[in-house]
């Protein structure tokens, strides 16, 4: 237990610096993009010089970039994410509304890709070089090579437009008034296609990693020893070969969660899922700096938490990890 | 052959008088509209402010025009192209200093309070004139609004203001909002800006950001038996391909404003139950324009501008970029405008040889590499078609030895580059013609506009004659004389080419054939849909 706590403390201190760098970096990046929130706004409305000046003043854009950054950081210190000019609402509220959708989408997709990917990987890796191994490896590579949005569109055309098994998009039926289990089922049916599109692409990654790892482990001496001991093949595959090949997958899981947030921008747009990815895209187009910073901070915190969980999982899966700190 | 011609318009006018109703049948005999049903419509964006009195733009109107009404709406066959809404009559004084509106009786706001002339006075003086993107220009001389009784509003102007302009501005610029809701606090921060309260056939019910807007039937609507629909839902579909899929999957019934890309229309028109409709946008014409930075010495030369105009094959643009869903342009007023358009202007036929000759004459001969000079070309990113035309223009210019470098930006960056920084030589823009040249057209060529004003002359063009003509037209009260001045204006613009008008286009709707009373006015997508109905 103490091992985990030490890890936690070390990670938290590191994370604060990471987050600060992320915030300042994003701010400067968006600041150097041409055009500001008012330019983005008047692109759709038009307006005269007086109105433009009025808007710049009202949205605080007549202050210098440094003042705005300082104000933002000061507010952040008080855990205030500020006000979105795009939505005229507190940013915390806007993000909290979208976050569950992204988490649901990302979580399910990760579970599918990790679960199914490693299971298939074990199946393929149990007999490296066999027909089923070749088939799965090549098949998964083919899926991995497909761009996510294209897979999404194909799924929509086949399963939503032609077969009409699933809805084409959204997170739930519009203003349906459903509650409880009905609503959960409704959301689940809306998630099938986007989760498949997002999950299948990363599935290949886990499958191939698992398979490659197992192919490696098969050659180790302890596998020979296990065989000599007369263990069943099933036991050798699961308890000895697969478990040892699992560790890199867990590392991958942490890294990939960050990537999944990025991948969901595209999938969220294609499937009209109101999540964080789409919000980020809108924030950039509208040059809504505080909103984008809020989203990036949220994602960064999310990634930090997931990686922390991965580290903790590591200490459980592999007793060697963190042993030095515990004894110190 | 018989010389009796029956135009669509006369048939409609006849049936309208027979029915004595605003509900015109779209096909053949009138089917009896059914009550009830939920209409689901694709929306590609979520406007940050739904108050159409402040933001008079199509994105806002698309949703808010069902909730908040204007004094009058555009009409195919009403007098002066108008149909009464909150005002039942309007009359301009001969001296141009006042306009009297008679207001509709028995109209209630969605919260139950009565609608009166006070609301009109408040909207005009506190919102349209000081805050509205377009009203700040049109109503700049509005001084007071007298309210002799609850149903009369008299607009008083400090300077003579053409009644024709005020009339033409009514459909887009006259959204009336309730005084009792807006009189306390800052108008720009009023919560009703995101949950509007109006007098329209539908009430604002809810907005789930990123998912949908829901409007509910207003049971107390003033229109007899209207509205027919129980509910309208705007489903937010940000991806351009999803509107077409949603229509095919029968999840939505209408995709307006060309939400289905032009390239998909041919395929989708063959899907049983779906119709492609080009009508209903006549009052919302977009113009494809080449904006020119006259600060570049080459472009300040009229011969060079003429050469560029000759280098553009407008027919090809209409056929290839717009797939036929557009018309070629001759000048700054679109051909489909019933009041002002004149074809009697200098034209520039597609003629590469002539363009090359003009450039040689101007003294810009081809170098050894076949190039005369280089230009920076910035196509506006708002429409696929403006971007595609940018690609075409680059090739067309290459054919006459002008090397154009394309610079692609997103909206915010494009606005800043063109209208504030003037960091362009040529730009492709889509200005909107709003029924009267004085609303948003003359500003495209007029001089003396401060830096940073979008969709205005930021190319440094100055022509005293043209400025004088625009000024004269803005104070000419007689409709015929004013119209004549704007015809003169079109001739001058086409002759001197402060910008080059290439094409004019409107939008396309794709709709289920179960939806009735569609596209029955020139601003249908942004009108109130009180008479729209759904087959059971």
SS (H, E, C) B477-508: CCHHHHHHHHHHHHHHHHHHCCEEEEEEECCC
> Which of B50, B237, B251, B380 is the best mutation test for A, with the most CBs of A within 10 A?
B251
SS3 B431: coil
Residue of B nearest to A172 (CA): B211
More confident residue, B327 or B18: B327
Q: Worst-scoring range by mean pLDDT, A11-15, B171-175, B328-332?
A: A11-15
Query: In B, which residues are within 8 Å of A30 by CB distance?
Result: none
Alpha carbon distance, N-terminus to C-terminus of chain A = 14
Q: Report the pLDDT averaged over residues B265-283.
A: 92
A255 touches chain B (CB under 8 A): no
Residue B251 has its nearest CB partner, among A36, A87, A167, at A167
At A147, list the tokens. Answer: 């761009």
Residue B412 has its nearest CB partner, among A35, A272, A278, at A35
**Per-residue pLDDT, A321:** 65
**Cβ–Cβ of B40/A174 closer than 8 Å?**
yes
Residue A322: band (very low, low, confident or very high) from pLDDT cuts 50, 70, 90: low
**Rounded distance between C-alpha atoms, residue B378 and residue B387, angstroms:** 9
Task: Say if residue B17's pLDDT is above 70.
Answer: no
pTM for the model: 0.86
At B79, list the tokens. Answer: 């007098």
SS3 A49: helix
**Per-residue pLDDT, B19:** 37
A274 touches chain B (CB under 8 A): yes
Q: Report the pLDDT averaged over residues B466-490.
A: 95
**Rounded distance between C-alpha atoms, residue A208 and residue A249, angstroms:** 10
At B261, list the tokens. Answer: 């890309």
> Which of A35, A36, A61 is the best mutation test for B, with the most CBs of B within 10 A?
A35
**Per-residue pLDDT, A215:** 87
**Cβ–Cβ of B189/A170 closer than 8 Å?**
no
**Per-residue pLDDT, B29:** 46
Q: Which of A211-220, B133-142, B313-322 is modeled with the greatest confidence?
A: B313-322
A190 touches chain B (CB under 8 A): no
**Per-residue pLDDT, A263:** 64
**Rounded distance between C-alpha atoms, residue A46 and residue A39, angstroms:** 9
pLDDT in tens, B110-143: 999 999 999 999 999 999 999 998 898 899 999 9
Residue B7: band (very low, low, confident or very high) from pLDDT cuts 50, 70, 90: very low
More confident residue, B242 or B141: B141
**Cβ–Cβ of B210/A168 closer than 8 Å?**
no
SS3 B427: strand
Task: Say if residue A80's pLDDT is above 90.
Answer: no
Q: Report the pLDDT averaged over residues B465-492.
A: 95
Task: Say if residue B298's pLDDT is above 50.
Answer: yes
**Per-residue pLDDT, A1:** 55
**Per-residue pLDDT, A262:** 66
At A198, list the tokens. Answer: 């997002």
Report B:91-120 residues touching A (Cβ under 8 A).
none
pLDDT in tens, A137-190: 888 888 888 888 888 889 999 999 989 999 988 888 888 888 889 999 999 999
Residue A170 has its nearest CB partner, among B59, B211, B417, at B211
Query: In B, which residues are within 8 Å of A87 by CB distance?
Result: 48, 209
Residue B305: band (very low, low, confident or very high) from pLDDT cuts 50, 70, 90: very high
Q: How many CB atoms lie within 10 A of CB B254?
A: 23
Domains of chain A: 2-327 (1.10.3720.10)
Query: In B, which residues are within 8 Å of A98 by CB distance?
Result: 209-210
Residue A219: band (very low, low, confident or very high) from pLDDT cuts 50, 70, 90: confident
**Cβ–Cβ of B416/A39 closer than 8 Å?**
yes
Q: Report the pLDDT averaged over residues A63-80.
A: 88
Q: Report the pLDDT averaged over residues B519-529.
A: 94
CA-atom Rg of chain A in angstroms: 24
**Per-residue pLDDT, B30:** 53
**Cβ–Cβ of B245/A157 closer than 8 Å?**
yes
- Helix axis angle for B352-361 and B302-311, nearest 10°, is 160
Report percent pLDDT > 90 for chain A.
14
**Cβ–Cβ of B136/A44 closer than 8 Å?**
no
**Rounded distance between C-alpha atoms, residue A245 and residue A230, angstroms:** 21
**Cβ–Cβ of B415/A47 closer than 8 Å?**
no
The alpha carbon of residue B188 is apart from the nearest alpha carbon of chain A, in Å, by: 10
Query: In B, which residues are within 8 Å of A285 by CB distance?
Result: 410-412
**Per-residue pLDDT, A239:** 84
Task: Say if residue B21's pLDDT is above 70.
Answer: no
Query: In B, which residues are within 8 Å of A36 by CB distance?
Result: 412, 416
**Per-residue pLDDT, B24:** 41
CA atoms within 13 A on the CB side of B380: 22
Report A:91-110 residues touching B (Cβ under 8 A).
94, 97-98
**Per-residue pLDDT, B25:** 41
**Rounded distance between C-alpha atoms, residue A188 and residue A183, angstroms:** 8
Report percent pLDDT > 90 for chain B.
81
A61 touches chain B (CB under 8 A): no
Q: How far is CA A89 from CA A71, B182, B189, B206, B269, in A?
A: 18, 19, 11, 15, 41
Which DSSP helix (H) or strand (E) runs through A158? none
At B533, list the tokens. Answer: 């109905």
**Per-residue pLDDT, A223:** 87
**Rounded distance between C-alpha atoms, residue B105 and residue B108, angstroms:** 9
**Per-residue pLDDT, B20:** 37
Under 8 Å CB-to-CB from A221, ≥6 apart: which residues? none
Q: What is the 3-state secondary structure (H, E, C) of B141-205?
A: CEEEEEEEECCEEEEEECCCCCHHHHHHHHHHHCECCCHHHHCCCCHHHCHHHCCCCCCCCEEEE
Q: Which DSSP state fits A173? A: -
CA-atom Rg of chain B in angstroms: 24
Residue A300: band (very low, low, confident or very high) from pLDDT cuts 50, 70, 90: confident
**Per-residue pLDDT, A326:** 43
Residue B212 has its nearest CB partner, among A46, A174, A275, at A174
**Cβ–Cβ of B412/A36 closer than 8 Å?**
yes
Q: Report the pLDDT averaged over residues B198-210.
A: 94
Query: What is this model's ipTM?
Result: 0.83
A42 touches chain B (CB under 8 A): yes
The alpha carbon of residue B71 is apart from the nearest alpha carbon of chain A, in Å, by: 21
Residue B235 has its nearest CB partner, among A45, A94, A174, at A174
- Cβ-based contacts under 8 A for chains A and B: 147
Residue A242: band (very low, low, confident or very high) from pLDDT cuts 50, 70, 90: confident
**Cβ–Cβ of A40/B440 closer than 8 Å?**
no
Under 8 Å CB-to-CB from B457, ≥6 apart: which residues? B443, B444, B445, B446, B447, B449, B498
**Per-residue pLDDT, A328:** 38
Residue of B nearest to A165 (CA): B249
Under 8 Å CB-to-CB from A144, ≥6 apart: which residues? A201, A204, A205
Q: How far is CA A20 from CA A14, A69, B414, in A?
A: 10, 12, 31
**Rounded distance between C-alpha atoms, residue B138 and residue B161, angstroms:** 9
The alpha carbon of residue B133 is apart from the nearest alpha carbon of chain A, in Å, by: 5
Q: What is the DSSP string of B10-50?
A: HHHHHHHHHHTSS---SSSSPPPPPP--EEEEEES---S--
Q: Which long-range contacts (CB under 8 A, 24 or more apart) does A50-55 make?
A: A50/B136, A51/B131, A51/B133, A51/B136, A52/B452, A52/B453
Report B:332-351 residues touching A (Cβ under 8 A).
none
**Cβ–Cβ of B211/A274 closer than 8 Å?**
yes
Average pLDDT, chain A: 86
Task: Say if residue B512's pLDDT is above 70.
Answer: yes
Residue of B nearest to A95 (CA): B209
Report A:106-165 residues touching B (Cβ under 8 A).
153, 156-157, 160-161, 164
Q: What is the DSSP string of B385-419?
A: HHHHHHHHHHHHHHTTTEEEEE----HHHHHIIII
Residue B249 has its nearest CB partner, among A39, A168, A287, at A168
Residue A40 has its nearest CB partner, among B49, B412, B440, at B412
SS3 B515: strand
């Amino acid at each position: 237990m103490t091992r985990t706590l030490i890890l936690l403390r070390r990670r938290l201190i590191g994370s604060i610096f990471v987050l600060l760098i992320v915030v300042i970096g994003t701010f400067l990046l968006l600041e150097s993009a041409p055009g500001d929130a008012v330019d983005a706004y008047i692109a759709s409305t038009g307006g005269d010089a007086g109105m433009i000046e009025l808007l710049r003043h009202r949205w605080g854009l007549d202050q210098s970039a440094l003042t705005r950054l300082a104000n933002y950081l000061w507010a952040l210190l008080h855990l205030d994410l500020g006000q979105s000019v795009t939505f005229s609402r507190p940013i915390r509220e806007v993000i909290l509304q979208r976050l569950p959708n992204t988490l649901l989408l990302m979580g399910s997709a990760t579970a599918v890709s990790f679960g199914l990917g490693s299971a298939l990987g074990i199946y393929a890796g149990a007999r490296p070089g066999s027909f089923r191994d070749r088939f799965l490896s090549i098949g998964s590579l083919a899926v991995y090579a497909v761009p996510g949005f294209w897979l999404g569109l194909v799924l929509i055309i086949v399963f939503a437009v032609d077969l009409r098994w699933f809805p084409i998009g959204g997170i739930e039926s519009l203003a349906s008034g459903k509650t409880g289990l009905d609503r959960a089922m409704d959301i689940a049916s809306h998630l099938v296609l986007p989760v498949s599109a997002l999950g299948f692409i990363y599935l290949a990654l886990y499958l191939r990693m698992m398979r490659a790892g197992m192919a490696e482990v098969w050659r180790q001496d302890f596998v020979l020893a296990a065989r000599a001991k007369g263990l069943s093949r099933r036991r050798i595959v699961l308890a000895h070969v697969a478990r040892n090949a699992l560790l890199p997958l867990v590392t991958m899981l942490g890294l990939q969660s960050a990537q999944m947030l990025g991948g969901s921008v595209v999938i969220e747009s294609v499937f009209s899922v109101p999540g964080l990815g789409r919000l980020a895209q809108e924030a950039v187009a509208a040059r809504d700096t505080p909103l984008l910073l809020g989203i990036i901070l949220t994602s960064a915190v999310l990634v930090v938490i997931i990686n922390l969980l991965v580290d903790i999982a590591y200490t459980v899966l592999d007793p060697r990890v963190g042993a030095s700190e515990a004894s110190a | 052959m018989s010389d009796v011609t029956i135009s669509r318009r006369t048939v409609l006018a006849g049936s309208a008088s027979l029915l004595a109703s605003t509900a015109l049948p779209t096909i053949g005999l009138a089917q009896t509209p059914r009550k009830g049903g939920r209409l689901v419509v694709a929306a590609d964006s979520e406007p940050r402010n739904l108050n159409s009195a402040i933001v008079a733009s199509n994105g806002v109107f698309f949703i808010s025009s069902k909730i908040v009404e204007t004094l009058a709406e555009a009409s195919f066959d009403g007098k002066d192209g108008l149909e009464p809404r909150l005002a039942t009559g309007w009359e301009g004084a001969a001296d141009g200093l006042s306009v009297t509106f008679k207001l509709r009786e028995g109209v209630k706001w969605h919260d139950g309070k009565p609608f009166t002339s006070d609301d009109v006075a408040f909207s005009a003086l506190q919102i349209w004139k000081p805050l509205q993107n377009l009203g700040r220009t049109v109503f700049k001389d509005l001084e007071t609004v007298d309210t002799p009784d609850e149903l009369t509003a008299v607009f008083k102007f400090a300077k003579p203001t053409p009644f024709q302009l005020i009339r033409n501005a009514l459909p887009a610029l006259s959204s009336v909002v309730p005084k009792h809701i807006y009189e306390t606090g800052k108008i720009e921060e009023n919560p009703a800006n995101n949950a509007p309260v109006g007098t329209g056939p539908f009430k604002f019910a809810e907005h789930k950001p990123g998912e949908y807007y829901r409007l509910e039937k207003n049971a107390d609507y003033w229109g007899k038996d209207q509205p027919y629909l129980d509910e309208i839902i705007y489903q937010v579909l940000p991806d351009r391909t999803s509107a077409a899929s949603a229509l095919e999957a029968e999840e939505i019934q209408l995709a307006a404003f060309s939400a289905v890309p032009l390239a998909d229309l041919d395929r989708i028109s063959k899907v049983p139950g779906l119709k492609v409709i080009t009508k209903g946008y006549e009052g919302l014409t977009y113009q494809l324009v080449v904006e020119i930075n006259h600060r570049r010495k080459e472009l300040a030369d009229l011969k060079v501008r003429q050469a560029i105009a000759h280098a553009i094959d407008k027919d090809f643009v209409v056929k290839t970029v717009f797939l036929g869903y557009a018309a070629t342009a001759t000048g700054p007023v679109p051909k489909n405008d019933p009041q002002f358009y004149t074809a009697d202007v200098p034209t520039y036929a597609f003629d590469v040889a002539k363009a090359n000759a003009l450039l040689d004459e101007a003294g810009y001969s081809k170098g050894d590499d076949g190039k005369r000079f280089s230009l920076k070309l910035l196509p506006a990113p708002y429409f696929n078609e403006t971007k595609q035309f940018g690609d075409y223009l680059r090739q067309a210019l290459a054919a006459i030895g002008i090397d154009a470098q394309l610079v692609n930006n997103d909206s915010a960056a494009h606005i800043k580059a063109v209208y504030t920084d003037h960091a362009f030589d040529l730009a492709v823009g889509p200005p909107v013609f709003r029924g009267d040249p004085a609303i948003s057209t003359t500003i495209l060529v007029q001089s003396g506009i401060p830096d940073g004003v979008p969709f205005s002359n930021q190319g440094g063009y100055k022509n005293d004659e043209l400025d004088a003509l625009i000024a004269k037209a803005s104070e000419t009260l007689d409709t015929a004389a004013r119209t004549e001045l704007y015809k003169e204006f079109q001739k001058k613009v086409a002759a001197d080419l402060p910008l080059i008008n290439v094409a004019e286009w409107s939008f396309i709707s794709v709709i289920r054939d179960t939806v009735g009373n569609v596209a029955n006015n020139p601003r249908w997508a942004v009108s109130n849909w009180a008479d729209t109905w759904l087959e059971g």
